Amino acid sequence: MAPEDLSALVVSLKVALGASLIAMLLGAPVGYALSQVRRRPGAGLWSGLGLEFLLHLPVIAPPVVVGLVLLSTLGGAAPLGSWLEQNFHIQLAFTTAGAALAAGIVAAPFAARAASLSFEGVDSTLQEAAHASGAGRLDTFVNVTLPLAAPGLIAGLLTAFAVALGEFGAVITFAANIPGQTQTLPLAIYAALAAPGGEERAAHLALMAVSMAGLAVLAAQLLRARAQRGFGP
Amino acid sequence: MVRALLLGIVWALLAGAAASAETQPLIVFAAASLRQPLEQLAPDSPAPYVVSPGASGTLARQIEQHAPAALFASADPHWMDYLSQRGLIAPTSRAELARNSLVVIARARQHLRPLVRLQDLPARLGDAHWATADPASAPLGAYAFEALTRLGIADALRASAAFAQDAGAAVELVAHGGARYGIVYATDARLSREVGVELEIPDDLHRPILYEAAVVTKAPSTAAQVLAYWRSAPARRLFMSLGFGRAVDH
Amino acid sequence: MSLTVHAYVLRGAYRLEADLTVGDGLTLVSGASGAGKTTLLRMLAGLERPSAGEIAFDGQILSNAQVFIPAWERGFVTAFQDARLLPHASVRDNLLFARKRGRGAAAIFEDVEPVLEALGLVPLLSRRIGGLSGGERQRVGLGRALLSQARLLLLDEPTAMLDQERQRLVFQLIRQAADRCPVLVASHLEAPLANRVIRVENGKAALALSCSAQTQETQS
């Protein structure tokens, strides 16, 4: 494997892992809020419409727009970005972390949807039983709701990982195409195809991306099995 | 175990965010079409650099947001002007790297009747389509229509135009998609073995297609050396071997 | 101990009015299926807010028009008719769930083993929740409540899925618990061991005044 290809693989791995975590951090609370609204007695067709809209925003916008919005708020010359740079020496644009943030925002709606469905599906009678055994709201959330929602949340994490792995527009716009730092597999494929004879390298890189996705599916399956032990006989 | 994995990910990301500048090679923001020549020139460069390819407009906006680029190589003078107006490039460093010209391509080995003049294109097309990049999003399309307008055949050809997202996609349309002809850069014609050049379009029918490079302000002093190297004779020969036209020195 | 209830629940066409005072010992809540025994227990547990009225425990208001103390702050523990065990936790962790959240009060049974023995739970400790039978699940659910530090126990049909011999043993255990902590048991069976009976019928829950030899009335 050529060193540039290995570097793209490593960057993709870091970015996709970071992005799926960010997607969960952003999406799970929205999904949880949506599930709570839906489960309330009297919830109808229009409940949670505002949250649903918020959830879908990054999906409606083209990924490049997500990248541009990030650039104009967190870029070095932008208000928030320059403030972070000057006071905390934190730069997000054009870094691996920035690439993870951009991909994470694009993947967040998928994580939110999975979270919403997972939390909605949690047996409320078990939450009642916890309350009736002395467990308060946070206690119940940590010890009952979360473990029961875990398999679905893991599935959401996997979806977010896959989306982030293939994300192009938001990453190249906010993080640029810097080999070794922000050049993920999709960005490397784009670079390869810009010149004659690049199809072979592009196919090679695409194969690496597919293999990575396959390994992710395997890992998610193992995690899900672990979360679900004890659910069955 | 899960905790350790999470900590590892966070650490790796932060390590990426705080990379020190001194030990890294220079970062060159280059239009995608310049990636290949600049990367091939890299081994003999006076200072090490990596090429970060993208669309000229996106690259310029990123430089405006303090992207860590030392050099900017653009396929569109408009975006070089953009940075120049904002004082983001060293003004005296702006220089031509190469030029490009337009060609008419068709699927290879088709043995069509030779296209002698561009003016014959409408008649030769008949009901078929011709491909080029969308003028709204890529300069190639703008240059193509400029040449066609100069000859007075732009209106005749507008209806049969198939606009592709970029030059590569236009080449693909001609190679496989059923567009009988395409107007692309001379360098793009080499992107696929499935297409061949039917006609070279004279340069005086459009504004010069320029590839320019400049040193970004606050870049290390070695950046200027790299730019000078790109304008040296051996570098020029490499550009021309890839199908680019000779740069004009001012 | 004194638990006073003057409250009612109104849900569409459904209405349950409860007017009663309960003291220490074992209180049987009796009535036909669907009469409202479960609704009464849920109201006392804090899982449902009465439409109007007041519930007080030893002078502390648990629920009225302004105040509603949530279930987890009342210090009561409920055993449900459908057991409601946590499928991701072990049998052991399920049994100790309420006991771990006792907020410093005294446990009903200081030693855990005798309770497990009486309920026949010892062979189940290493099993998974998913593999338990209906009767086994019910016993674990009851065990969870009996092993807690509740200041009041609410048991909803705790023996419905048990065979007769087991039912007798379990009720003996419940009677033991009732000597240390007030217990309300909803059951459509007659229980000779209760101190008092609350009858739920025709939308009303009230203390039964009966001359039947089977029930004792001990007003505390």
Strand partners of residue B185:
B102
Q: Classify B26 as helix, strand or coil.
A: strand
- Asked if C93 has any chain A CB less than 8 Å from its own CB, the reply is no
Neighbouring subunits of A (3+ Cβ pairs under 8 A): B, C
Nearest CA in chain C to A146: C88
Q: Indicate the pLDDT class of residue A231, thresholds 50, 70 and 90.
A: low
Tally A–C CB contacts below 8 A. Answer: 84
Res. C94: pLDDT tops 90: yes
Q: Which pLDDT does position A13 carry in this prediction?
A: 95
- Asked if A181 has any chain B CB less than 8 Å from its own CB, the reply is yes
Q: Which pLDDT does position C210 carry in this prediction?
A: 52
Fold agreement (B23-99+210-241, B102-200):
yes
Q: And the tokens for C219?
A: 């007003």
Q: And the tokens for A146?
A: 């979360």
CA pair distance C154, C37, nearest whole angstrom: 11
Shortest CA gap B120–chain A (Å): 29
- Average pLDDT over all residues of chain B: 88
- In a mutagenesis test of the C interface, which of A133, A146, A153, A223 is the best target, namely the one with the most C β-carbons within 10 Å? A133
Strand partners of residue B89:
B216
Please tell me what DSSP assigns to residue C188: S
Read off the CATH number of the domain in which A29 is found.
1.10.3720.10
Contact predicate C192/C213, CB 8 Å: no
CA pair distance B235, B197, nearest whole angstrom: 25
Contact predicate A14/B12, CB 8 Å: yes
State the Rg of chain A over Cα: 20
Q: Which pLDDT does position C208 carry in this prediction?
A: 84
Contact predicate B188/B175, CB 8 Å: no
A42 domain residue, yes or no:
no
Q: Which pLDDT does position C5 carry in this prediction?
A: 93
Res. B201: pLDDT tops 60: yes
Q: Do B52 and A91 touch (CB under 8 A)?
A: no
Q: Classify C182 as helix, strand or coil.
A: coil
Q: Do A125 and C144 touch (CB under 8 A)?
A: no
Name the domain count of chain A.
1
Pick B58's closest partner by Cβ from A77, A100, A173: A173
Sheet containing B161-164: give its strands across.
Answer: B161-164, B130-133, B181-185, B102-107, B195-200
Query: C33 is in which domain, residue-wise?
Result: 24-46+72-193
Please list every residue in chain A whose beta carbon sits closer than 8 Å to the beta carbon of residue B190: 196
Please list every residue in chain A whose beta carbon sits closer than 8 Å to the beta carbon of residue B36: 194-196
Neighbours of B169 (CB within 10 A): 16
CA pair distance C73, C58, nearest whole angstrom: 15
Q: Indicate the pLDDT class of residue B23, thresholds 50, 70 and 90.
A: low
Q: Which pLDDT does position C164 carry in this prediction?
A: 86
Q: What is the CATH number of domain B102-200?
A: 3.40.190.10
Read off the CATH number of the domain in which C104 is found.
3.40.50.300
Pick A230's closest partner by Cβ from C78, C84, C89: C89
Residue with tokens 């078990």: A126
CA pair distance A8, A37, nearest whole angstrom: 42
Q: CATH: 3.40.50.150, 1.10.10.410, 1.10.287.1080, 3.40.190.10. Which one for B23-99+210-241?
A: 3.40.190.10
Contact predicate B21/B68, CB 8 Å: yes
Q: Which pLDDT does position C217 carry in this prediction?
A: 45
Res. A43: pLDDT tops 90: no
> To which H or E segment does residue A151 belong?
helix A146-166
Res. B17: pLDDT tops 70: no
Pick A230's closest partner by Cβ from C72, C76, C128: C128
- Asked if A14 has any chain B CB less than 8 Å from its own CB, the reply is yes
Contact predicate B224/B215, CB 8 Å: yes
C220 domain residue, yes or no:
no
The residues, any chain, with a CB within 8 Å of residue A95's CB and separated by 6 or more, are A175, A181, A182, B16, B17, B19
Contact predicate C157/C138, CB 8 Å: no
For residues B199 and B165, which has the higher predicted lDDT (pLDDT)?
B199
Q: Which pLDDT does position C33 carry in this prediction?
A: 82
Phi, psi of B189 (to 5 degrees): -60, -25
Q: Which residues of A202-220 are buried (b: 16+ CB within 10 A; e: fewer)?
A: beebeebbeebbeebeeeb
- Average pLDDT over all residues of chain C: 88
Q: Indicate the pLDDT class of residue C212, thresholds 50, 70 and 90.
A: very low
Q: Which pLDDT does position B223 carry in this prediction?
A: 95
Q: Indicate the pLDDT class of residue B1, thresholds 50, 70 and 90.
A: low
Q: Which pLDDT does position A178 carry in this prediction?
A: 93
Res. C143: pLDDT tops 90: yes
- Asked if C144 has any chain A CB less than 8 Å from its own CB, the reply is yes
Range picked from A111-125, B125-139, B191-205, C189-203 for highest mean pLDDT: A111-125
- Amino acid residing at C77: V
Domain-wise residue ranges, chain B: 23-99+210-241, 102-200
Q: Classify C85 as helix, strand or coil.
A: coil
Per residue in A200-230, pLDDT tens?
899 999 999 999 989 998 988 888 888 877 5
Pick A147's closest partner by Cβ from C80, C88, C97: C88
Query: A82 is in which domain, residue-wise?
Result: 3-36+50-226
Q: Do A131 and C87 touch (CB under 8 A)?
A: no
Res. C84: pLDDT tops 70: yes
C216 domain residue, yes or no:
no
Q: Do A227 and C130 touch (CB under 8 A)?
A: no
C178 domain residue, yes or no:
yes
Q: Which pLDDT does position C187 carry in this prediction?
A: 86
Pick C72's closest partner by Cβ from A136, A230, A232: A136
Name the domain count of chain C.
1
pLDDT above 70: percentage of residues in chain B: 90
Strands C196-201 and C26-30: parallel
Q: Which pLDDT does position A45 carry in this prediction?
A: 74
Q: Which pLDDT does position B9 carry in this prediction?
A: 66
Q: Do A176 and B36 touch (CB under 8 A)?
A: no
Per residue in B88-107, pLDDT tens?
999 899 999 999 999 999 99
Res. B212: pLDDT tops 90: yes
Please tell me what DSSP assigns to residue C163: -
Mean of the pLDDT values across residues B203-219?
Answer: 93
Task: Return contacts of A200-209, CB within 8 angstroms, 24+ apart.
Answer: A201/A5, A204/A5, A205/A5, A205/A8, A208/A5, A208/A8, A208/A9, A209/A12, A209/A165, A209/A166, A209/A185
Mean of the pLDDT values across residues A99-111?
Answer: 96
Shortest CA gap A175–chain B (Å): 9
The residues, any chain, with a CB within 8 Å of residue B58's CB and separated by 6 or more, are A172, A173
Per residue in C24-81, pLDDT tens?
999 999 988 888 899 999 999 999 999 999 999 999 999 999 999 999 999 999 999 9
Q: Indicate the pLDDT class of residue B55, thresholds 50, 70 and 90.
A: confident
Per residue in B123-164, pLDDT tens?
888 888 999 998 887 888 989 999 999 999 999 899 899 998
- In a mutagenesis test of the A interface, which of C11, C49, C84 is the best target, namely the one with the most A β-carbons within 10 Å? C84
- Average pLDDT over all residues of chain A: 90
Strand partners of residue A65:
none
Helix axes A96-120, A3-39, angle to 10 degrees: 30
Mean of the pLDDT values across residues C200-209?
Answer: 87
Res. C189: pLDDT tops 90: no
Please list every residue in chain C whose beta carbon sits closer than 8 Å to the beta carbon of residue A140: 72
The residues, any chain, with a CB within 8 Å of residue B44's CB and separated by 6 or more, are B229, B234
Range picked from C9-18, C52-61, C155-164, C189-198 for highest mean pLDDT: C52-61
Per residue in A17-42, pLDDT tens?
999 999 999 999 999 999 988 888 77
Lowest mean pLDDT among A6-10, C73-77, C84-88, C169-173: C169-173
CB-facing half-sphere around the CA of A74: CA atoms within 13 A? 20
Pick B13's closest partner by Cβ from A18, A76, A78: A18
CA angle C106, C109, C111 (to 5 degrees): 110
Q: Which pLDDT does position C133 carry in this prediction?
A: 92
Closest C-alpha among A127, A110, A119, A102 to residue A163: A110
Mean of the pLDDT values across residues B33-54?
Answer: 94
Mean of the pLDDT values across residues C138-147?
Answer: 96
DSSP class per residue in B61-126: HHHHTT---SEEEES-HHHHHHHHHTT-B-GGG-EEEEEE-EEEEEETT--PPP---GGGHHHHHT
Q: Do A135 and C101 touch (CB under 8 A)?
A: yes
Pick C84's closest partner by Cβ from A125, A136, A232: A125
